[in-house]
């Protein structure tokens, strides 16, 4: 019976992917390596990949015991038999030297795993790397990470604007609210992963409050009532908590803050979860009730700004309306003498096309020629064909005469 550990390693090695060091590949590489570490080290996977494992010699006895328990659980998640053996006091598991050797070995194995999946510039940097292997992610991010190309400030500005589509506002009328909120939350998580853990608490674009402010600043006016109800709910809940803790609701509390003071306080802001739930619920309610969630149609009764102050005249009758208006009494092909020259030429071409009449197709001409040729060949010997020839020639002549008559009539009508 195959071992589960061998099956897991075989499955991991069968997944073929390559990291070349391109900036657009960093997010995928980072996510794949983090997933590998979490599968192999369980709760310690993220710390090992980000290089935030505590330094063993600096831990006090209580912290060190908790550290050993975390390492033991990580080993137990992959190999329960080995974990059972290591829990024995004589195994040396609880010695600091053992723990440091184990952690160094894991970083060495992780380094080998990354190097196996690297190519081109990334592989070169892995080969030339000679620093602390626990900081391999930080080292690779400085070289190839997203945002290292100098455009991180541009991404921040786009996030501040609500990540609008080209030529539209961030929350235009009819937008898919679920997808839009997911897009903004994904961008915040991108900043969170990009920033080093030690600076995430101070970097504003990692905070939920920043995301909440962006949504409230750019939300479509059709959601104003929903936002107002949500803010009132937040205000009441905070008032209840304040009174329940024995405090007083006075003039300096958050419900009396004006727009200027709110810029320096986050107490009045709802949580991201509450904001997301409220907006999605309102969006679904609008869809269910059949309210117009599409962009507002243009009012065709209003003239464009470019035509403001310009006199409108009908080209067919000369009246103070547009051609085709129900009040217009002119025919479909009538032209007023004061109409522009280009309109007169277009209508004249239209009349010529209408008066051209039916024309012989190429197939009809071929058939007539064949009948005429056959009649000429047999006219001397076959009386039936002679009669056919006599009947055929007038038909051709009449067709040509009718086309000539149409041509003469057209010349007479068109000056």
Classify residue 92 as left (phi > 0), alpha (psi -120 to 50) or beta. left
Give the torsion through C-alpha atoms of 343, 348, 353, 355, to 10 deg.
Answer: 140
Does the structure show a pLDDT above 80 at 81? yes
pLDDT of residue 411: 45
φ and ψ of 99, to 5 deg? -65, -40
Closest by CA position to 187, among listed 203, 164, 205, 213: 205
Report the predicted TM-score, pTM, of the whole model to 2 decimal places: 0.51
Residue 1 pLDDT: 42
N- to C-terminal Cα distance for the chain?
Answer: 101
If you average pLDDT over residues 352-369, what whole number do you get?
Answer: 71
For the chain, give the mean pLDDT. 79
Contacts with 387 (C-beta within 8 Å, 6 or more apart), sequence order:
none
In angstroms, rounded to a whole number, what is the distance separating the alpha carbons of residues 206 and 184? 12
Average pLDDT over residues 38-60: 92
Structure letter (DSSP) for residue 174: T
């Amino acid at each position: 019976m195959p071992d589960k550990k061998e099956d897991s390693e075989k499955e991991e090695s069968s997944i073929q992917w390559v990291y070349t060091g391109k900036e657009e590949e960093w997010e995928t590489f980072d996510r794949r390596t983090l997933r590998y570490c979490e599968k192999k080290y369980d709760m310690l996977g993220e710390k090992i990949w980000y290089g935030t494992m505590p330094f063993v010699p600096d831990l006090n006895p209580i912290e060190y015991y908790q550290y050993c328990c975390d390492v033991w659980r990580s080993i137990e998640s992959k190999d329960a038999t080995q974990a059972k053996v290591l829990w024995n006091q004589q195994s040396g598991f609880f010695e600091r030297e053992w723990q440091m050797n184990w952690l160094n070995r894991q970083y060495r194995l992780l380094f080998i795993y990354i190097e196996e999946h690297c190519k081109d510039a990334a592989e070169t940097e892995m080969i030339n790397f000679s620093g602390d292997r626990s900081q391999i992610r930080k080292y690779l991010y400085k070289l190839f990470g997203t945002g290292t190309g100098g455009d991180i400030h541009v991404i921040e500005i786009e996030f501040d604007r609500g990540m609008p589509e080209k030529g539209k506002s961030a929350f235009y009328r009819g937008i898919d609210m679920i997808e839009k909120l997911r897009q903004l939350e994904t961008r915040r998580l991108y900043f969170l992963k990009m920033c080093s853990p030690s600076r995430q608490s101070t970097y504003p674009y990692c905070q939920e409050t920043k995301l909440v402010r962006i949504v409230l600043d750019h939300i479509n006016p059709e959601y104003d009532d929903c936002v107002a109800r949500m803010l009132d709910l937040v205000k009441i809940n905070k008032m209840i908590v304040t009174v329940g803790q024995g405090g007083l609701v006075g003039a300096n509390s958050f419900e009396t803050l004006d727009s200027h003071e709110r810029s320096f306080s986050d107490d009045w802001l709802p949580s991201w979860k509450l904001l997301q739930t409220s907006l999605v619920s309102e969006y679904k309610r609008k869809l269910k009730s059949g309210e117009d969630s599409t962009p507002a149609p243009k009012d065709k009764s209003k003239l464009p700004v470019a035509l403001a102050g310009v006199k409108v005249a009908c080209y067919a009758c000369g009246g103070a309306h547009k051609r085709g208006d129900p009040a217009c009494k002119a025919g479909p092909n009538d032209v007023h003498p004061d109409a522009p020259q280009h309109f007169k030429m277009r209508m004249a071409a239209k009349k010529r096309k209408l008066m051209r009449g039916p024309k012989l197709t190429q197939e009809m001409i071929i058939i007539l020629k064949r009948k005429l040729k056959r009649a000429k060949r047999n006219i001397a010997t076959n009386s039936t064909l002679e009669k056919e020839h006599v009947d055929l020639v007038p038909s051709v002549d009449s067709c040509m005469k009718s086309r000539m008559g149409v041509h003469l009539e057209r010349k007479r009508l068109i000056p």
